[in-house]
Structure 1
Amino acid sequence: MTLLHHRAEGPSSAPPLLLGPSLGTSYALWDRVAPELSVTHRVIRWDLPGHGGSEAGLLTAGATVGDLAGLVLALADALGVGRFAYAGVSLGGAVGLHLAVHHPERLSSLAVICSSAHFNGAGPWEERAARVRREGLAGLADNADARWFTPGFTVPELVADHRRADPEAYAACCDALAAFDLRDRLPEIAVPTLLVAGREDPATPPAHLREIADAVPGAALVEIPGASHLAPAQCPEAVLAALRSHFGRLPGRGMEVRREVLGDAHVDRAQERQTPFTARFQDFISRYAWGEIWTDPTLSRRERSMITLTALVAHGHHDELAMHVRAARRNGLTPEEIGAVLLQTAVYCGVPAANAAFATARRVLAEEDGTGG
């Protein structure tokens, strides 16, 4: 089967995140967002049929958003991606909503950007499809800036993508938008959902995103000032911040990892000692250190333990060092490997620092399993 043209970025072991484009654009719509997201995710962005590098024949007249969703699932299957996070703009967002309703087992979370659960009825899209089949895309491309951006802003590469799109495939995408209406199914969506609206968007105004947010249980809504329809291209920093917050970590994952690495007893003691004065700091540690840094799949927990031990020796944090010697054992380091790490610190952090570190580690290992003697 011919697959949608796509680009994959980020570590292959990272959580997968698929990014869908809007009508008339290519995956270049995500150029200023995807590289940053790929630091923590395996980002896979795809082109609509007849757009960018995707073959036009993947979609034909009378197509539906469900047909596009099927192509996205076929791409995920071919890449060995089972469950994934998803973000999409406009038509790409509609694909995400369809997946959340009809294939919830495939989604871990969803972000719908400058999109809608319906696109103002079939009539305008049927008219556009007929016009494109009759006249081609030149006329529409000439006023793309007005539909996509606020006055005075443009992204020439995206307008060029519009001009190069295949008219018949573009018209088939219009057919899909004409038939799309998921308003009655929105309450069924159970995956964590974020709606992002461009406050200056004439195509899918904030009211469209608010309608989804009000219907999807637990959904969040972010409005971006100054953004029109293609918010990832016009306001990439704001979109990136919203997506990072939504996709960056699983709820409660930081505390879970903290307990796995440091042990229940230690975390319970820290929680018992917590006061109103220290509560925000404890929350910061769980969310940031454990929920974002320690969950980053780029390094294994063994590697993170080695780095942490070295840093603690360098700064003379002996109480923290004792805690992380115990953590290193939970993360699979042997006493011999811990000793090798500390010996390395003698070279780069100094013999006195390593001498104190060996004393601390010897005591902890003796307490833990009798191997420090």
Structure 2
Amino acid sequence: MTLLNHRTEGPASAPPLLLGPSLGTSYALWDKVAPELSITHRVVRWDLPGHGGSAAGLIEAGATVGDLADLVLALADSLGVERFAYAGVSLGGAVGLHLAVHRPERLSSLAVICSSAHFNGAKPWEERAALVRREGLAGLAEGADARWFTPGFTVPELVRDHRDADPDAYAACCDALAAFDLRDRLSEIAVPTLLVAGREDPATPPAHLREIADAVPDSTLVELPGASHLAPAQCPEAVLTALRAHFGGPAGRGMEVRREVLGDTHVDRAQSKQTPFTARFQDFISRYAWGEIWTDPTLSRRERSMITLTALVAHGHYDELAMHVRATRRGGLTPEEIGAVLLQTAVYCGVPAANSAFATAQRVLAEEDGTAG
């Protein structure tokens, strides 16, 4: 059987996550998001029939979203993937909704991005399908930027994908959108569901995502300021943050551990100071330091705290040392134990470093509970 063209990234043993594209694009839509997701998931992104590298013959006139969903399941089966998380944009999101209603046993969680439970009725899509079958895609591709992005923004590779798509396959995808309407089945969706809307999206405005969120039990809606229809390409960091929080992994667990060790006050203060410039660094800290290192059960948190104190003394990071002295007190270390760790550093890191460390720790302990050690 001919399969959808796809790209697989990430560890084979990681939880599988399938990513679906929008009409007129290829899996390049996920270029700025998939590599980061593949740190914690086995990411499989696929091309629609006649788009990217997928064969046009995989779809015929009169196709349905259910037909596309069957192709996705065939791809998953070929990869040995029984149950998977799924995220899709526009038509790709519709495929996810179909799977959640008709094949819920295959989904562990769902994210629907800039999509809808219906696409404004059949007529516009029937007209577009007829136009493409008659004239091809060149003229339609010229207006892609206006439909996909806010003014002044473009992704040339995606516009080229639109122009190069097979017209008959594209028109068949339009047929699928024309026939799609799951509004009366949304309440049946039981998998954890995230809805992501672009506030500047003219194709599937936020109201479409709110409609789904209102109907799907316990779903979550996120609206992205400044994002239009292809949010993963235009606002990848915001989409990545939403998907990480929804699908779990080190980022979500990392923030939890960070709060447990450092305390809500410190973390809230750090988060309040976050800017677009520092957002990626804060995410890095949550994912790697707190989400992967501090959650490793090989060492206890007490042991990690002691190692951290030593490393900070060795490099002279006394502001960070003060923060972690507070953290070790929260974690149960006594002033005597903290003093013993710092005394150890005098031997291996040098007396001057230990002297400064003792002064920092004494100040923090006095501030915390009046104990000077």
TM-score, normalised by the number of residues in structure 1: 0.72
- 1:1-373 alignment runs, 5 A limit: 1-249=1-249, 304-305=298-299, 312-313=306-307, 315=309
Amino acid at match of 2:201: D
For the residues of structure 1 that align with 2:266 and 2:247, how far apart are their CA atoms?
22
Distance in 2 between the 1:16 and 1:60 partners?
Answer: 29
The whole-number CA distance in structure 1 between the counterparts of 2:301 and 2:101 is 43
State the Cα deviation string for residues 220-252 of structure 1 (Å, max 9, x = none). 1111111111111111111111111111249x9
CA offsets per residue over residues 255-281 of structure 1, 9 Å max, x none? xx99xxxxxxxxxxxx9xx9xx96779
How far did 1:292 drift?
Answer: 6.6
**Per-residue deviation at 1:148?**
0.6
Offset of residue 305 of structure 1: 3.9
Is the Cα contact below 8 Å between 2:9 and 2:44 reproduced in 1?
yes
CA RMSD in angstroms comes to 3.8
Amino acid at match of 2:241: A
What is the CA distance between 1:293 and its match in structure 2? 6.6
The one-letter code of the counterpart of 2:9 is E
Q: Is the 8 A contact 1:65 1:176 kept in 2?
A: yes
Question: Matched residues in 2 for 1:42 and 1:235: separation?
Answer: 22
Contact 1:294 1:301 (8 Å CA) reproduced = no
Conserved? CA contact 2:149–2:227, under 8 Å: yes
Deviation of the 1:185 alpha carbon:
0.3
Alpha-carbon distance between aligned partners in 2 of 1:42 and 1:297, rounded to the nearest angstrom: 17
Query: SS at the partner of 2:23?
Result: coil
| Gap regions ≥5 residues in structure 2 | 269-282, 311-323, 332-343, 350-373
Q: Which amino acid aligns with 2:83?
A: R
SS at match of 1:17: strand
Q: Aligned partner of 2:49: which letter?
A: P
Aligned residues: 307
Q: 2:68 & 2:133 partners in 1: Cα distance?
A: 20
1:298 to partner: Cα distance: 11
Residue identity opposite 1:98 in structure 2: H
Q: Per the alignment, in what secondary structure is the counterpart of residue 185 of structure 1?
A: helix
Q: Give the C-alpha shift of residue 306 in structure 1.
A: 9.9
CA distance in 2, matches of 1:27, 1:220: 25
Q: TM-score, normalised by structure 2?
A: 0.72
Distance in 1 (alpha carbons) for counterparts of 2:128 and 2:195: 27
Label 1:205 to 1:191 Cα distance change in 2 as closer, same or farther (>3 A): same
1:13/1:297 contact within 8 Å kept = no
Say if 1:126 and 1:178, in contact at 8 Å, map to a contact too.
yes
- Cα deviations across residues 150-184 of structure 1 (Å, max 9, x unaligned)? 11111100000001100000011001000000000
Is the partner of 1:161 in helix, strand or coil? Answer: helix
Q: CA deviation at 1:103?
A: 0.7
Whether contact under 8 Å (2:40, 2:249) holds in the other structure is no
- On the 8 A contact 2:195/2:220 being kept in 1, the answer is yes
